[in-house]
Amino acid sequence: MSSIDLKATQSPHILVLGMGGTIAGLAQEPKNKPLQYQAGQVSISNLLGQIQEAIPKGLTLISERLVNINSKDLSESVLTQLALTVLSSLNNQAVQGIVITHGTDTIEETGLFLQLTCGKAAQTLGKRVVLTGAMLPGNAPAADGPSNLLNAVQWASTLLENCPGGVYGVFAGKVCMAKDLAKRHGTAPNAPLMDSPTSPLNLINPSWLAGVRAAESAWREDLPVPHTDEWPWVEILTSHAGARPQTISQWLGSGVKGLVLAGSGMGGFHESWKTPLDRALASGIALVRASRTGAGLVRSDIPEKDPIGCMAAGSLSSPRARIALQLALNAAKQANLVGKPLTWQDFFARIADLPEIR
Ligand code: ASP
């Protein structure tokens, strides 16, 4: 992992951080089998070279490779490195905006993570942080990476009047808040935002913009970025027909700090989990109830009241609820160290209560 010497670059520029993914992928037989490829093969400077001609005049781009991975392998230490880089770059006066090229598989986690750790900073400084990627490798005939990258650079650099700084996602000619990125299809070209509230890039939808403003003003303070060795261990467990108590009980005494339950329907879980979950709660494991459906709300009083210590995920999907729980556990720990009697539930509620864009 490389570090960035921002002092070396004092003239205004857009910083483009490369993290890999399909946008940096290559297929062996691009014409016949474009989906048989390896992610994270092409350097970020090469990707920018492909769109050089189309970059608006007067705009300087500086690229930096953070990692070059398939995002299915994303680690928490890479997330730490990313947020620290974004925060220090936002505070560099020469950086006008930031583009991040990322694999689509886990862009949902990174989107929420950056919103919660860097969203307020980006908004306050009036700069945009833009996540993008691709569904087809760079050498496929219909590769979507170049146009997505160009659009992301444009969105990072044009601060339209009244359209705030913040953390966004750009795919297939559309923009969404990064916290709304969610890959809900294996192969569709707009998979990372096909189920998300979006606006076309070229004609900003006023009701989407009003939703962005509401979400941004509700987000009052960024959460601390966990150090690489500070990330609490949190797992996602899915309830299903035939679920067994052992799925829960095997975690007791394991050192796990939190469990996100991807329940069925409104977040219900199999009756066989009840006793081991009571034991998990009693042993101090943080519990969050989400839904495996991928949409809709999970509420603390429906279908029945949650036991004390368990939180409902609201509209957070289980991967997002996991990131939210990790950041909430860490934020509570940091707050307690300086004598503030806040709980993880206090921080989690702030995240789960963020207004949704409709
Ligand atoms: N497996 C790839 C990744 O997430 C998929 C993609 O980028 O579209 O890195």
- In this predicted model, what pLDDT tens digit does every residue of 118-128 receive, in sequence order? 999 999 999 99
State the Cα–Cα distance between residues 248 and 261, nearest whole angstrom.
10
Q: What angle do CA 320, 288, 305 make, to 5 degrees?
A: 135
Residue 309 · residue 287 · CB < 8 Å: yes
| Shortest-distance atom of ligand 1 to CA 106 | 4
Coil, helix or strand at residue 171: strand
Domain spanning 3-218, CATH class = alpha beta
Q: Helix crossing, 107-125 with 318-337: angle to 10°?
A: 50
Whole-structure pTM value: 0.95
If pLDDT is split at 50, 70 and 90, which confidence band does 5 have? very low
Q: How confident is the model at residue 133 (pLDDT cuts 50, 70, 90)?
A: very high
- What are the tens digits of pLDDT across the range 303-315? 778 888 899 999 9
Domains 3-218 and 234-352 share a fold: yes
Task: Tell me the average pLDDT across 47-64.
Answer: 94
144 ligand 1 Cβ < 6 A: no
Measuring CA to CA, which residue among 92, 85, 142, 158 is closest to residue 118? 85
Specify the pLDDT at position 1.
Answer: 36
Q: What is the mean pLDDT of the chain?
A: 94
Region 48-67: what's the mean pLDDT?
94
Delimit the domains of the chain by residue range: 3-218, 234-352
Q: Which of 144, 176, 172, 44 is nearest to 99 (CA)?
A: 44
| Portion of the chain with pLDDT greater than 70, in percent | 97
Q: How confident is the model at residue 298 (pLDDT cuts 50, 70, 90)?
A: very high
DSSP codes joined into one string, 14-37 = EEEEEEESGGG-EESSTTT-TTSE
Assigned fold of 234-352: Rossmann fold (3.40.50)
The one-character DSSP state at 296 is: S
Q: How far, in Å, from the CA of 183 to the mean position of ligand 1?
A: 10
Question: Would the CB of 211 count as within 6 Å of ligand 1?
Answer: no
User: CA end-to-end span of the chain, whole Å?
Assistant: 39
The tokens describing 207, both together, are 């009701």
Ligand 1 close to Cβ of residue 45 (< 6 A): no
With a cut of 50, say whether residue 4 has pLDDT above it: no
